[in-house]
Structure 1
Amino acid sequence: MIWRLSLLACLAIATPAAATTMNFDFGNNGRQTNVPGWNNVVHDNGSPSPTLFVVFDDTGVAVPGVTLEETDEFYIVGQPSQGGSESPAGDAAGLPVDATDDYYFGHSGAFGGGDDNPTGGFKLTGLDQNLAYDFLFFSSRTGVNDNRETAFSVTGSNVGSGLTATSNNDSEVLTISGIMPDANSEIAISVSAGPNNDNGNGFYYVNLMQVSTAVPEPASGLLIALSGGLTALRRRR
């Protein structure tokens, strides 16, 4: 009886935790993603995005302690336009059009009444330091004939980065995986123009972000528990 209880305890410890996914739609007040499981990041004219003190997962349940805070302003003079993808396909298939169509953007030098903001950024706080987080970004600006490549950098206790071809993009997504929160349980995201961006204003974009917790591999204790349990059973018999 004792070995059975011990085996059950080891199995409980070894069972992987369920993954959690958080979806964020950046952009226009008039085109929010009003379906369960999406968090809308918008701003009033002339004001930065307010901190999201309640963040929901993809089932519509609040994730305890997690917030999203803008730390480096994007363009905030007027509402962002809705010039992103209306036809997500390929790796972006299944993403809601309300999220792929609008965006936050920034620029190098003054533009449209806005000051120079060659980088834009935000951070997630209240994350679990025992988990790794995987990021998916979608960046799209359609109806253009130049290169508006966008760069993303994700920083916790480790760093990941990547580039995405934003111009007329309907299908490409960028994934950055395995980022661990820092000592403050935070992960910071920075967005900027990529090295191949040849737009005169250096426009860069973030339409949406998905953040998922990586599911841990089953603990080696599972095998140990099974081995030990079988050994105890043989001895008993």
Structure 2
Amino acid sequence: MCAQQRFSFDFGSSSLSRGTYGAVNNVARSFNAGTIDEVRLLNSDGVQTDIILKVTDDFRSVNTSGTSNPDSSLSYQSSQSSDSFFGNTQPFLNSTNPTAAFVLKGLSPSKFYSFEIFASRMGVTDNRETSYLISGQSSQTVYLNPSNNTDQTIELLNVQPNAQGEINIQLTAGPNNTSSSGFFYINAMELIEHDTTLSSVIITNQLELLYPKQLATWESGKTVEFKWRSSGITTVDIEATQDNGASWFTVSTVPAVTGRFTYTVPSNTGIYQFRISGNGLSEQSNDIRIIPDDGVSYDIFILGSSTAAGTGPSHEINTWVNKYERYLYELDTRYRVENLAVGGQVTYNLLPSGSSIPTGVNETVNNNGNISAAINSTADGVIINLPSNDAARSYSVNDQLANYAIIMAEASSYWIPVWQTTPQPRDFGNNTSKLSIQQGMLAATWQQYPSTTVDFWSGLPVPGDNGLLDEFDSGDGVHVNNAAHQLFFERMIQSGIHTDIKNRVDNLLITDHSEITELSIHPNPVHNFLYIDTLKSFTDFLIIDTMGRTIKTGTTKNSIDVSKITSGIYFLNIGGQTFRVIKS
């Protein structure tokens, strides 16, 4: 059997309503060759690859008049078919855009690549035939008329990349194009990488569940979105079971081309599985735990500057914060990510409200985006992402560390854990002093906060650290692109911060208020023995640190020996109550 890797593309509008997630590569707002960052591709399994798409010759702009009802025999969702990139060979609004092009890079010269292209422009009466010149080791041109098209595609099979591992695709008006402006389009594309030659790109009757697929926890009353990919299927049946598949009941039947369905989580709690089916095909989720919405949430606040705020990627859906927020919500609807980052900020801006700024420092505390704002909003954990502005403004490593210490102390006084990312590479030009500050802060961050630092540096800088590698540079030498944000997202997940915050909240919850006797503890701070008053009998206790880690457990009636616990701030759970304890 021929080994294959499949990719799906959506060219067009940058609006979230038209953007697609999952395993579709949304090439949104990328029609300008001079401003596009490179789009690092996801395959159909949602796995990021080393293949990159980059526009090399401008398109004119985006059109949103493609079909919203593509034929069910096609593999495209309506969000892919309804919008496009376009150009025009003859004057339109006093300008022309006679050709447009993009390149696929990072391909294997020993493999074959087959293309299926779809284009659609509804509500027209002329012929808008588009020419697609696809060039690798050899070149071939194919044609498609997008006018009122809902079901036609063109294929080009078994293209091999050039020696550099690249295939170029150039668009222009075809010879049969009768549009007065010579309009040409591309809405969507499928790409298959394969080891041996193929006779056809189209694989009919496909159905792939994108979400829910993994284990997840949903709260009653919340909304979640089922997502799938399909071809050759008219409708999709969505079903659920609460008895491990012994019986299924219908949730909904929807058109397959929509690719998604918004679902309100039912009030009946328990373990569910869901499946989608159509034309004899079906795919089932893993266990989904549905729980009551009891008001519990895991609130993660993001502080920082332009990277966290979303500068650099081609669209906000490609930022690490937005990816992180979507991932966590799909994992457990109790997660809540609040992004307070503002472009241009430095450590001084994040200081607690009311902090004094040193003479000569032209900065002000941002009361809406600082540590106090997170505390006042009852954050369960804070992530700080400050890439390079401090160094760019020549604030020393000692200045930055002093500000971090104030921020951390403020958060700690409210028992809120804080994580931080490393600085990020940046092109400082010939200013070696600023580069030295950045390198020094990188080392100091790891040294000062080894267990709470997330790596946003490794693999990104050019040799010598003064700049970003091209594959991660959005184009200005300062801000990072889609590929870097994907890397940051993956590293943030790998850090396990979200799990630490969840465990911390869960360990602090009081779950049974029915028979609680008011307790008191002393002394606090404590050095050796902590005494608990008014306990009526031997009672289990739990001591955790500010990261939610269990430090000590046991049973007591009146005292706990804490002499061997390291100095710091802890929480004692006992008798259904929680106490903040300072170990001296």
User: Alignment partner for residue 128 of structure 2, among 137, 148, 163?
Assistant: 148
Pick which of 38-47 and 149-158 moved more. Answer: 38-47
Q: How does 1:32-181 map to 2 (within 5 A)?
A: 32-43=18-29, 50-63=36-49, 65-76=50-61, 80-89=62-71, 91-92=73-74, 94-112=75-93, 115-181=95-161
Q: Secondary structure at the match of 2:146?
A: coil
**In terms of Rg, which structure is larger?**
2
Q: Distance in 2 between matches of 1:167 and 1:180?
A: 30
| 1:34 positional shift | 2.0
Pick which of 203-212 and 17-26 moved more. Answer: 17-26
Question: CA 1:37–1:141 in structure 2 vs 1: closer, same or farther (change >3 Å)?
Answer: same
1:28 counterpart residue number? 13
Q: Give ranges in structure 2 of 5+ residues lacking alignment.
A: 198-584
The one-letter amino acid paired with 1:68 is L
User: Alignment partner for residue 205 of structure 1, among 185, 201, 205?
Assistant: 185
Over aligned residues, Cα RMSD in angstroms? Answer: 2.1
| 1:57 positional shift | 0.6
Q: Distance in 2 between matches of 1:179 and 1:49?
A: 28
Q: Secondary structure at the match of 1:54?
A: strand
TM-score of the aligned structures, taking structure 2 as reference length: 0.32
**Which structure has more RCO (C-alpha within 8 Å, separation ≥ 6)?**
1
8 Å Cα contact 1:160-1:177 kept in structure 2? no
| 1:216 positional shift | 2.4
8 Å Cα contact 1:191-1:204 kept in structure 2? yes
The one-letter amino acid paired with 1:183 is A
8 Å Cα contact 1:141-1:168 kept in structure 2? yes
| 1:133 positional shift | 0.1
User: Alignment partner for residue 164 of structure 2, among 168, 179, 184?
Assistant: 184
Q: Give ranges in structure 1 of 5+ residues lacking alignment.
A: 1-15, 218-237
8 Å Cα contact 1:32-1:40 kept in structure 2? no
For 1:90-130, what per-residue CA distance to the aligned partner results, in whole angstroms no more than 9, with x for missing partners? 653x41000000000000134236x4221110000010111
Structure 2 residue 18 is the aligned partner of structure 1 residue 18: no
Q: Secondary structure at the match of 2:79?
A: helix
Q: Which structure is higher in strand share?
A: 2
Percent of aligned positions with the same letter in both sequences? 30
Question: CA 1:91–1:195 in structure 2 vs 1: closer, same or farther (change >3 Å)?
Answer: farther
| 1:61 positional shift | 0.4
TM-score of the aligned structures, taking structure 1 as reference length: 0.76
8 Å Cα contact 2:11-2:26 kept in structure 1? yes
For 1:66-96, what per-residue CA distance to the aligned partner results, in whole angstroms no more than 9, with x for missing partners? 11010110113xxx2310011111653x410
Question: CA 1:161–1:47 in structure 2 vs 1: closer, same or farther (change >3 Å)?
Answer: closer
The one-letter amino acid paired with 1:107 is N
Q: Secondary structure at the match of 2:40?
A: coil
Q: Secondary structure at the match of 2:48?
A: coil
The one-letter amino acid paired with 1:24 is F
| 1:186 positional shift | 0.2
Q: Distance in 2 between matches of 1:145 and 1:118?
A: 21
Question: CA 1:87–1:117 in structure 2 vs 1: closer, same or farther (change >3 Å)?
Answer: same
Q: Secondary structure at the match of 1:107?
A: strand
Q: Distance in 1 between matches of 2:31 and 2:157?
A: 34
8 Å Cα contact 1:49-1:70 kept in structure 2? no
The one-letter amino acid paired with 1:40 is N
Q: Distance in 2 between matches of 1:17 and 1:85?
A: 33
Question: CA 1:99–1:53 in structure 2 vs 1: closer, same or farther (change >3 Å)?
Answer: closer
8 Å Cα contact 2:30-2:36 kept in structure 1? no
For 1:2-32, what per-residue CA distance to the aligned partner results, in whole angstroms no more than 9, with x for missing partners? xxxxxxxxxxxxxx56201111111011144
8 Å Cα contact 1:138-1:174 kept in structure 2? yes
